[in-house]
Amino acid sequence: NSGEQRGSGQDDSDFNWDEYLEECGLSAVPHHAFKHVDLSLHTGLSPGMKLEVCVRGEPNGSYWVATIITTCGQLLLLRYEGYHDDRRADFWCDIMTADLHPIGWSKQHGRIMKPPEGTDKVSNWEALLEDGLLESCSAPANLLEGPHRGKNLLDLLCPGTSVELQDSEDPGVAWGAVIEENVGGRLRLLYAGAEGLPQTLAKHWVFYLHPFLHPPGWALESGCTLAPPAAIRVLRSEAEWGEVRQGISCQATEETVPEDLFKDKPTVSTHCFSEGMKLEAVNPAAPFCISPATVTKVFSDQYFLVEMDVLQGSAVCRGGSRPFVCHSDSSGIFPAQWSLKNGVPLSPPPGYQGQDFDWADYLKQCEAEAAPQHCFAPLRDHDFVASMKLEAVNPLSPEHIHVATVTRVRGQHIWLHLEGVKQSIPEVITHVNSMDIFPVSWCETNGYVLRHPSKPQGGWKQRRVAVVQPEKIICNLHSNPVPADPAGQSNGKYSCPKIYFNHRCFSGPYLNKGRIAELPQCVGPGSCVLVLKEVLTLLINAAYKPSRVLRELQLDEESRWQGHGETLKAKYKGKSYRATVEIVRTADQVAEFCRKTCIKLECCPNLFGPRMVLERCSENCSILTKTKYTHYYGKKKSKRIGRPPGGHTNLEGGMKRTGKRRKRRKHFFVHKKKRSSSLDNTPAGSPQGSGDEEDLDEEDSLSEDSGSELQDELLDDSEHSEKKSQPPSPTPNETVRTRRRRKARSSSYSDDENRPPSPKEIDGQALLLLTLPTVQECMGLKLGPSIKLCHHIERVKLAFYQQFAS
């Protein structure tokens, strides 16, 4: 029944995303990260399109060309041709009531074309219309006239509409289907001729932008064979399918779905895979692990077939699992060794004999070659971070959408923990561009039931995830291996030995010696990537200013190590920072990596590393003063030709160069969070703030102090825990310097005269355009206040429309 189809079975009244996120101290994946959802909200009419509109106030009913400036549902903001960038005469109109037509309509129907008063005179308006038609910038006629007038394109995919769907095992085969339900662009399809068959086989969920979904008649035009999916093919006779096939062909000529509806579908690029190539893949039927797979067939320069490997003896047999069609940008396919390099487990193929899986031995055994790296899609930036919340489809029950948590991020793929499931399932592996994941409140917006965890009697705070602070994980990591160490990686060249924290060694100007002493004695052994990432995270949290340490560790492209890039985070004064840090992945590089990192942080080269310092450090760092130590082991920063301003190099000698501190340009992730999060690694004693996540350049731009002042500040910080007495009186030079700083900070807003004038009016047109996602994203409001504000905006919009849009 419809209740089961819509995933009922839970009382939705006890779950509220806003309350849940706030009480648990969590954040949601930003709305703009879901590109398919953004596209589904667009109408067919977009800014820049031109149309013909009846000129207001003209008694003879003349028409003129206008450009769409912006859209707001069925309301359009238009500007007459000839006004150029002058917005004073912009006007709103309603698609459903205004006299609107595509470019060329007046000429075809013998209507008068006359520009309104105030526009520049156009000597040849016929040439203007021809240019508009040639540039293909005319608004589609079917959205201005006829039954589709004023409708969102997505609304045209209503129940009963016919579509065609390519086969998941052969792109040269397609079959018809009928839309049973449209939930915000997510379609429940019933295969043609599958009435009365088991629902799990007869019905299929797909988002309308899926590259395999097409309008009726596409198969005939593309030369594809009309055949039912293999799963239901045997449940009917060939004669019965023949009758259904005839009906599909007739529907192709009778029914029409606007082509504009599918214009935003991702294009399929050319691939360079060959038959027999080996790779790592996620099985779409059970996306819970990564295993070896093989390219078993190449259909064209766009599509190829992949099948998960199953071994019988020493040979790979076929038919053990259902194959699936891929293209160059498909999710869930990776080059060989990807799992090992990214610190995630690789499940050996069924029937594999041996304790540890090794790709080199496996390729030799199968007499095959691995697909080269360039065959796979390049990495792109995204906004998914571990612990963020979203809504996701259950791959075992596609009709159910669950509250989900990002538990791991590796490249373009994320691991999701689904909540509200009747029987626990492993974490789901999916791509950041998957069309089966949605922003929080998507189900509520589209009237669909969300499967969620049950609320405890004491509130959501009881389910709160523990905050991982350095002082709280001592008992968990003390002399213990790093958790989640992939099978087969604890031995061999990718295994990292124990990394010891030698807290008696000199900690330098950045790290707090007291916090270093509270760290576990060691971390590891385990995968190099996992162990070293944990070590660096602990060091960042043990700093006076975690963001400064993160900046020092940030990957410098000009001195790149051939290691593995990992994204690390830091929190300081309530702001979150992220940067990519280079981490080595083989055991023979670990010792040098630790030493170089220590030198970057201006601390003793033995502060942490694979060697335990028992009594006396070999560097004699304890007998050196801070100044002398910096002289021997500190970083020498000098200006080099060809380096960007603020660029630096890490050397084992020389004093710090004093002078103007300049803004540094590096690549980084930037993301603004809507809510402050209690899941932070801010060291104890650090002030809490708004929780915004910033790039590292922003911290640089906050101060233009000289290098000597910065060094003084760092030295003061490093000695703070040791000097509890009253600070000495400032010297005259320091006093002057302090006054200059204070004066600079209050330069332009010290009194009312210098304050900028406050705005005297509100941009009403912009106010009417605010929507729920826009309010949440741009204004930083929570869900509850955002909904209330949008209700008020809708009332204003209705009043405005009733009075002025007639």
pLDDT band at 135 (very low <50, low <70, confident <90, very high): low
Do 385 and 436 reside in the same domain of the chain? yes
Nearest to 128 by CA among 64, 35, 46: 64
Tens of pLDDT, residues 302-330: 999 999 999 887 677 776 678 999 999 99
Where a domain ends, among 98, 123, 143? 143
Question: Which domain covers residue 359, as residue numbers?
Answer: 277-312+321-375
Residue 557 token pair:
């492209």
Tens of pLDDT, residues 414-427: 999 999 998 889 99
Q: How far apart are CA 26 and CA 464, in angstroms?
A: 9
More confident position, 471 or 89: 89
CA-to-CA dists, residue 463 to 10, 20, 23, 24, 690, angstroms: 19, 10, 9, 7, 23
Residue 384 token pair:
């998914």
Give residue for tokens 């289907």: 177
- Phi, psi (degrees; rounded to nearest 5) at 459: 100, 175
Assess contact for 512 and 686: CB atoms under 8 A. Answer: no
Q: What pLDDT is attached to residue 556?
A: 64
751 domain residue, yes or no: no
Angle at 546 between CA 542 and CA 551, to 5 degrees: 130
131 domain residue, yes or no: yes
Q: Is the pLDDT of residue 742 over 80?
A: no
Assess contact for 438 and 401: CB atoms under 8 A. Answer: yes
Do 335 and 389 reside in the same domain of the chain? no
Q: What pLDDT is attached to residue 335?
A: 95
Do 621 and 529 reside in the same domain of the chain? yes
Assess contact for 617 and 504: CB atoms under 8 A. Answer: yes
200's enclosing H/E stretch is helix 199-202
Q: What pLDDT is attached to residue 674?
A: 39
For the chain, how many structural domains are there in total? 6
Percent of the chain past pLDDT 70, that is, above it, reads 72
Do 294 and 354 reside in the same domain of the chain? yes
Do 381 and 370 reside in the same domain of the chain? no
Do 429 and 535 reside in the same domain of the chain? no
pLDDT band at 651 (very low <50, low <70, confident <90, very high): very low
Nearest to 49 by CA among 155, 137, 162, 175: 137
DSSP letter for 192, please: T
Tens of pLDDT, residues 674-698: 333 333 333 333 333 334 444 454 4
Assess contact for 69 and 79: CB atoms under 8 A. Answer: yes
Q: Is the pLDDT of residue 521 over 60?
A: yes
Q: What pLDDT is attached to residue 494?
A: 78
Q: Is the pLDDT of residue 39 over 50?
A: yes
Beta bridge partners of 204: 189
Three-state SS string across 661-691, please?
CCCCCCCCCCCCCCCCCCCCCCCCCCCCCCC
Beta bridge partners of 422: none
Three-state SS string across 448-467, please?
CCEECCCCCCCCHHHHCCCC
Do 567 and 595 reside in the same domain of the chain? yes
pLDDT-wise least confident of 248-257, 267-276, 672-681, 753-762: 672-681
More confident position, 759 or 347: 347
- CATH number, residue 238: 2.30.30.140
Q: Is the peptide bond before 546 cis (omega within 30 degrees of 0)?
A: no
Query: Residue range 716-745: average pLDDT?
Result: 43
719 domain residue, yes or no: no
Q: What pLDDT is attached to residue 769?
A: 81
Q: Is the pLDDT of residue 73 over 80?
A: no
CB-hemisphere CA count at 13 Å for 153? Answer: 21
pLDDT band at 652 (very low <50, low <70, confident <90, very high): very low
CA-to-CA dists, residue 66 to 93, 101, 102, 447, 675, angstroms: 12, 10, 10, 37, 41
281 domain residue, yes or no: yes
Tell me the Cα Rg of the chain: 32
Do 176 and 133 reside in the same domain of the chain? no
Q: How far apart are CA 505 and CA 617, in angstroms?
A: 7
Assess contact for 20 and 460: CB atoms under 8 A. Answer: yes
Q: How far apart are CA 702 and CA 573, in angstroms?
A: 13
Q: What pLDDT is attached to residue 621?
A: 80
Q: What pLDDT is attached to residue 482?
A: 44
254 domain residue, yes or no: yes
Assess contact for 287 and 428: CB atoms under 8 A. Answer: yes
Query: Residue range 792-802: average pLDDT?
Result: 81
Give residue for tokens 């291996």: 481
Query: Residue range 217-224: average pLDDT?
Result: 90
CA-to-CA dists, residue 784 to 22, 31, 772, angstroms: 11, 16, 10
Q: What pLDDT is attached to residue 330?
A: 93
DSSP letter for 113, please: B
1 domain residue, yes or no: no
461 domain residue, yes or no: no
When mean pLDDT is compared over 142-146, 480-484, 497-501, 636-640, the highest value belongs to 497-501
Do 20 and 54 reside in the same domain of the chain? no
The amino acid present at 268, given as its one-letter code, is V
CB-hemisphere CA count at 13 Å for 157? Answer: 30
pLDDT-wise least confident of 39-43, 122-126, 491-495, 738-742: 738-742
How far, in whole angstroms, is CA 699 from its chain's centroid?
23
More confident position, 566 or 394: 394
Do 628 and 503 reside in the same domain of the chain? yes
Beta bridge partners of 181: 188
Query: Residue range 486-509: average pLDDT?
Result: 74
Q: Is the pLDDT of residue 254 over 50?
A: yes
Q: What pLDDT is attached to residue 228?
A: 93
Tens of pLDDT, residues 355-383: 788 899 899 988 999 999 999 998 888 99
Q: How far apart are CA 362 and CA 99, in angstroms?
A: 69
Do 178 and 164 reside in the same domain of the chain? yes
Beta bridge partners of 405: 389, 417
Do 37 and 71 reside in the same domain of the chain? no
More confident position, 444 or 128: 444
462 domain residue, yes or no: no
More confident position, 154 or 364: 364
Q: How far apart are CA 299 and CA 306, in angstroms?
A: 11
Q: How far apart are CA 736 and CA 741, in angstroms?
A: 9
Where a domain ends, among 589, 614, 633? 633
Q: What pLDDT is attached to residue 305?
A: 95
Q: What pLDDT is attached to residue 686?
A: 38
